[in-house]
Amino acid sequence: MSHVRYRFVDCRWALDDPEAGRRAYLEGHVPGAVFVDVERELSDPPGSRGRHPLPSNERFVEAMSRAGIGGETFVVAYGTMGGAERLWWLLRHHGHDRCGLIEPDAWQGPLTGGEETAPRAGFVSRLRADDTVERTELSRRLAELVVVDARVPSRWRGEANPVDRVAGRIPGALNAPWNEAQPELPPGDVVAYCGSGVTACVVLHRLHLAGRDGRLYPGSWSEWERYPDLPVERER
């Protein structure tokens, strides 16, 4: 029997403070855990594809190799604001299904401060092609898909807020806020989005635990809002 290796990964982050996650990690983390940066390692730089585009294959492979994650490694991720779920989704997107999540507050053991590193591993990517939906397909198939918006209700309703440049939602999108209990979703082909493709992974993880799988719209609202020809829906 092969030896199963575990790797704790800290994915804490904050939308309004790119350094908050690393500070929290340095102050105290699960012993042996390495820090993976949602902004810099689990995303490409912001641009035309949205605020947190999926990381390039090279960026993600390097991050996972540096974190000591090889083919036999079982990853135990924890984080805030969907950071751990983003890592879980990306690992599956790259063909690595050996990942579980814990809530940060669930850890009752000791904490360690400072930086920790892991022995470098050779992460191998085996990209899936069936777990994402791009903007053009989504806009063409809105009537066929179960579109789920993971943002908080006020942003889904289209109220002015400091994050979205254009207030509103994708027409027909149901609201399943990432920080609330998951509502029951109708049957069908589920596509989840949020502001930039991070907290939507919380919805997809819950769906997976319930025995269903959905797809991610990676650009999410931060991409959709850049295109004035795309429809926008708001509460009247």
Q: Any idea which residues carry the catalytic annotation?
A: 194
Q: Could you tell me the CA-to-CA distances from 230 to 81, 168, 171, 209 in Å, in that order?
A: 27, 12, 10, 32
Within 8 A by CB and 6+ apart from 126, the residues are: 94, 95, 96
DSSP conformational letter for 105: G
Which alpha helices (DSSP H) does the chain contain, by range? 20-27, 57-66, 83-93, 135-140, 153-157, 200-209, 220-224
Give, for 163, the enclosing helix (H) or strand (E).
none
Token pair in block for residue 26: 């340095």
Number of residues in the chain? 236
